Amino acid sequence: MPREYLKKATLTAQSHASEVHETVKTILEEIEAGGDDKALEFAKKFDRYEGSVLLTPEEIEAACALVPEKLKADIRFAHDNVRRFAETQKATLSDVELEIVPGFVAGQKAIPVDAAGCYVPGGRYSHIASAIMTVTTAKVAGCRHITACSPPRPGVGVAPAIVYAAQICGADKILAMGGVQGVATMTYGLFGLPKANILVGPGNQFVAEAKRILFGRVGIDMIAGPTDSLILADGASDAHVVATDLVSQAEHGYNSPVWLVTDDRAIAEKVMEMVPALIDDLPEVNRDNAFAAWRDYAEVILCGDREEMAACSDDYAPEHLTVQAEDLDWWLGRLTCYGSLFLGEETTVSYGDKATGTNHVLPTSGAASYTGGLSVHKYMKIVTWQRATREGSKSIAEATARISRLEGMEGHARAADVRLAKYFPDEQFDLSADG
């Protein structure tokens, strides 16, 4: 059967895309030209904060002292999980070498970037977990310098729990600056910071646009849009759990899509009936986002069978993908496009967002069809090298000369010719394009 939309989104993530490009571009250009003073000017304007830009050890210690012991324990628990998972990921990368032909060896090395800039949102929500996810992975990767950047609150500064998380996870400097000015400061190496080689971490539309503009000049984890989540549920699923999980992700933002894909009409209808009341029961600060996201962006899709459900999910390529259905091994083997996968009712996106160890900085807006999320690998440069004996280079040089001439690249060919002439002066080689 064709897919039946029991609820269809009226808007997409692009519907309210603000015209922020020129604003962000102007701010970046002004800060690059004006340096520290211009960055401070924008910080005063947008952050409404005039305290220390780079936190001193004393300020970090004072902020950490404000964090309750139970929360500290939870942060250490999450950090340990993220660290151990990142270490396991890093172990999958190894330096290798291969003898291409006798006497000619090529190899691979994994080298961490020198300096990482980790953006940690701190506006409406203090994203403690983002500090854990970004700083820990950079530390495990082996980055020499890590800056954690988070928006300060007027009269308060960076949220103490974010300071504590950044500190224990290995940040070398904590930058009290938000938005475009924070991203620019890390990129341009202001206030004595090293210039970042890579920028990572989630942020609002201005942060995302700044990273997009700067990409190429500096590496980024990904170009992120609003967070999104899809649940695959069959008739054996618990409608209340499914509805709760959808609402939990809708609270991220007014334009955060959530999708339910099912082959059971009764489950679909029950979930749609339950969601409004679950949203209404949220605190007001969360309720408005969830209500708008459900009203304008959510979809409920009825499919004919599980294969059609899986195909639908792969088409959406969601950031977060939850399976609440029977035969989890089948789904794990079949699904191919997602940022992070949550198999079974016993886990949930919220776990991955906060504490399980897998990273929550993930591809959005369908980007999971071609890339994964943040990991130690994002901070690693996979480079190659080669070394040869003179005899080992002979066959390589001959092939290089002939291929280069066939392509019309005579200079390339002569770089091979000169070596053959030097190393094997008594031998004759046919190095013409036609062989």
Q: What is the pLDDT of residues 55-67, one digit of tens each?
A: 999 999 999 999 9
> Which residue type, as a one-letter code, is found at position 73?
A
The pLDDT value recorded for residue 11 is 85
Q: What is the mean pLDDT of residues 226-250?
A: 97
The secondary structure of 207-245, three-state, reads: HHHHHHHHECCEEECCCCCCCCEEEEECCCCCHHHHHHH
Phi, psi of 49 (to 5 degrees): -140, 135
Dump pLDDT digits (tens) for 5-31.
999 999 876 655 567 899 999 999 999
Catalytic residues: 319-320
Helix (H) or strand (E) holding 380: strand 380-388
Q: What is the mean pLDDT of residues 237-259?
A: 96
Helix (H) or strand (E) holding 383: strand 380-388
The answer on pLDDT for 177 being more than 60 is yes
Q: What is the mean pLDDT of residues 120-149?
A: 93
Q: Which two tokens stand for residue 102?
A: 């006798």
CB atoms within 10 A of CB 118: 33
**Beta bridge mates, 229:** 258, 320
The pLDDT value recorded for residue 18 is 60
The pLDDT value recorded for residue 372 is 95
The pLDDT value recorded for residue 62 is 97
Beta strands, E only, 53-132: 96-101, 104-112, 115-119
The pLDDT value recorded for residue 125 is 65
Phi, psi of 374 (to 5 degrees): -70, 140
pLDDT averaged over the chain? 95
Between the alpha carbon of residue 1 and those of residues 230, 234, 263, 304, the distances in Å are 20, 16, 10, 5
pLDDT confidence band for 206 (50 / 70 / 90) = very high
84-98, 120-134, 206-220: least confident range: 120-134
- CA torsion sign for 127, 133, 136, 137 is negative
Q: Which two tokens stand for residue 290?
A: 């969830």
The answer on pLDDT for 124 being more than 70 is no
> Which residue type, as a one-letter code, is found at position 222?
M
Q: Is 262 helix (H, G, I), strand (E, B) or coil?
A: strand
83-87, 324-328, 357-361, 429-433: least confident range: 429-433
CA dist., res. 212 & res. 428, Å (int)? 54
11-25, 110-124, 163-177, 238-252: least confident range: 11-25
| Helix segments in 91-223, DSSP class H | 128-141, 160-169, 179-188, 205-214
The answer on pLDDT for 168 being more than 60 is yes
Who contacts 363 (Cβ-Cβ below 8 Å, separation ≥6)?
222, 224, 317, 319, 339, 371, 372, 373
The pLDDT value recorded for residue 114 is 98
Taking the alpha carbons at both ends of the chain, their separation in whole angstroms is 59
CA dist., res. 119 & res. 148, Å (int)? 6
Between the alpha carbon of residue 336 and those of residues 93, 221, 343, the distances in Å are 22, 20, 14
Q: Which two tokens stand for residue 323?
A: 């399976």
